[in-house]
DNA sequence: TGTCACGCTAC
RNA sequence: CUUGUAGCGUGACA
């Protein structure tokens, strides 16, 4: 079995940096600056490692992550060529529905392992472009940041006297991302035509249902390696709008809390922000789950802030979840040892 | 440094 | 057997 290192080294020749004065012919296309970064040896190496490490299930073509290295060894040169010539077409995603904790269901969109590999390579580049531009109070899906840090900041706001919170929840956030808004926003710090075109093709790749594909005019697939960073690019617009209004907030994916000093201010913010999100971002605010309330009445990322703003409490929901898990675990191990 | 489990948050 | 992805955390091993 060939090691991952050996494999990618043979996949990508050192010549992927443009050679000066290289004559253009039909067999070699000069990569655009961003495509060169996506297709660089080191970046592809990291991407392949990540996809294999996840050990995820196959997409519509049935190819497993263990089969991917062998497939790439045979087909990567032509795929790479298609990517450079902008003729590559991603496969539609596979639809799998999984239950959510609150009783609902979550539609996953599982790309083929090849597309997960390419998306991962793109995601690593996009993340580089955007990480420093993202708002400091955006905590979800970002390296070096955690839910704990988001909650700690909320606690600090409450301690400083902002004892009211606007708790915003967006409806089916990933599934309703507006493609035009996303692409326009993406162009700001990733101004590369070929790469943007490829990303747009991933957005429009569709979902395979039986034998035909269903269009995806909106949304990013829940299950694509690229989706989290794209989600942050969309909501980056919200972050800087909040900043412009001098509001204190913490956001983790679509879960956003804004800390204000009075109920009145909270109501005002809720109304105007709902309009901004629906008009400008083209997203829907979930009015059932959103609310203006005191921080100690709401749970945020599995925690609730205590009344004095000095302590963090693990939310009741998280406690009961843990308890049932422990019960199940002890019952199961007991059963096994008896049998 | 690197590999492998497990847990939590989010979609 | 079915279930994808990102981030963080704990532990183990070398």
Question: Could you identify the residue whose CA is nearest to the C1' atom of nucleotide B10?
Answer: A253
Nearest residue to C9 via alpha carbon and C1' = A146
Q: Which pLDDT does position A306 carry in this prediction?
A: 74
Angle between helices A4-11 and A41-54 (to 10 degrees): 140
Q: At what angle do helices A113-130 and A193-203 cross, to 10 degrees?
A: 130
DSSP symbol at A298: S
* A72 CB-near residues (< 8 Å, 6+ apart): A7, A11, A48, A79, A114, A117
Q: Is the pTM above the cut of 0.90?
A: no
Residues A11, A101: Cα–Cα separation, whole Å: 42
Give distance CA A225 / C1' C2 (Å). Answer: 21
Residues contacting strand B at CB < 7 A?
A 49, 53, 55, 106, 140-141, 147, 169, 172-175, 222-223, 227-228, 231, 252-255, 301-302, 317-318, 321-322, 325
DSSP string, A205-257: --EEETTEEEP-SB---TT-TTHHHHHHHHHHHHHHHHHHTT-EEEEETTEEE
DSSP letter assigned to residue A178: B
**Residue A322 pLDDT:** 60
Look at residue A95 in the predicted model and tell me its pLDDT.
96
Q: Which nucleotides of B are covered by protein (CB under 7 A)?
A: 3-5, 7-11
Structure confidence at residue A35 (pLDDT): 97
Please report, for residues A92, A139, A177, A217, A228, the alpha-carbon distance to residue A221 in angstroms, rounded to integers and kept in the order given: 10, 20, 10, 12, 9
What ipTM does the predicted assembly reach?
A: 0.91
- Using an 8 Å Cβ cutoff, are A173 and A13 in contact? no
pLDDT in tens, A282-339: 999 999 999 999 999 999 998 888 776 545 666 666 656 666 655 554 554 444 433 2
pLDDT of residue A325: 58
Across all strands, nucleotide nearest A123 (CA–C1'): C6
Q: Taking Cα atoms as reference points, which of A145, A132, A250, A115 lies closest to residue A188?
A: A132
Token pair of A297 as six digits: 């009445």
Say if residue A80 is exposed, middle or buried (CB neighbours under 10 Å; 0-12, 13-18, 19+): buried
Q: Which residue has the tokens 């109070």?
A: A137
CA atoms within 13 A on the CB side of A65: 16
| Local mean pLDDT, 10-residue blocks, chain A (339 residues) | 43 40 59 96 96 96 95 96 97 96 92 97 96 96 94 91 94 95 96 97 95 94 97 96 97 96 97 96 94 93 74 63 56 40
Give the whole-angstrom CA distance, residue A181 versus residue A218: 10
Tokens of A127: 């993340």
């Amino acid at each position: 079995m060939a090691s991952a290192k050996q494999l990618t080294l043979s996949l990508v020749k050192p010549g992927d940096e443009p050679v000066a004065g290289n004559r253009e012919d039909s067999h070699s296309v000069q990569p655009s600056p961003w495509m060169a970064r996506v297709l660089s040896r080191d970046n592809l190496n990291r991407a392949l490692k990540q996809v294999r490490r996840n050990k995820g299930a196959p997409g519509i073509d049935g190819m497993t992550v263990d089969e991917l290295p062998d497939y790439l060894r045979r087909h990567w040169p032509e795929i790479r060529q298609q990517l450079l010539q902008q003729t590559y077409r991603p496969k539609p995603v596979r639809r799998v529905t999984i239950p959510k904790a609150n009783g609902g269901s979550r539609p996953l969109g599982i790309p083929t392992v090849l597309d997960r590999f390419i998306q991962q390579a793109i995601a690593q580049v996009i993340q580089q472009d955007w990480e420093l531009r993202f708002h400091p109070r955006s905590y979800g899906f970002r390296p070096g940041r955690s839910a704990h840090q988001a909650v700690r900041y909320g606690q600090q706001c409450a301690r400083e006297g902002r004892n009211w919170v606007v708790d915003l929840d967006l409806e089916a956030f990933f599934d309703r991302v507006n493609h035009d808004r996303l692409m326009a926003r993406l162009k700001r710090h990733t101004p590369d035509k070929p790469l943007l075109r490829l990303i747009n093709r991933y957005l429009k790749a569709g979902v395979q249902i039986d034998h035909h594909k269903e269009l995806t005019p909106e949304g990013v697939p829940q299950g694509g390696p690229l989706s989290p960073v794209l989600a942050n690019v969309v909501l980056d617009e919200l972050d800087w709008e909040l900043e412009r209004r001098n509001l204190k907030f913490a956001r983790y994916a679509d879960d956003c809390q804004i800390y204000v000093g009075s109920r009145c201010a909270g109501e005002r913010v809720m109304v105007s922000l709902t309009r901004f999100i629906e008009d400008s971002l083209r997203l829907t605010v979930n009015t059932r789950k959103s609310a203006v309330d005191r921080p100690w009445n709401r749970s945020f990322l599995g925690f609730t802030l205590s009344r004095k703003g000095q302590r963090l409490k693990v939310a009741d929901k998280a406690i009961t979840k843990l308890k049932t898990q422990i019960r199940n675990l002890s019952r199961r191990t007991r059963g096994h040892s008896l049998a």
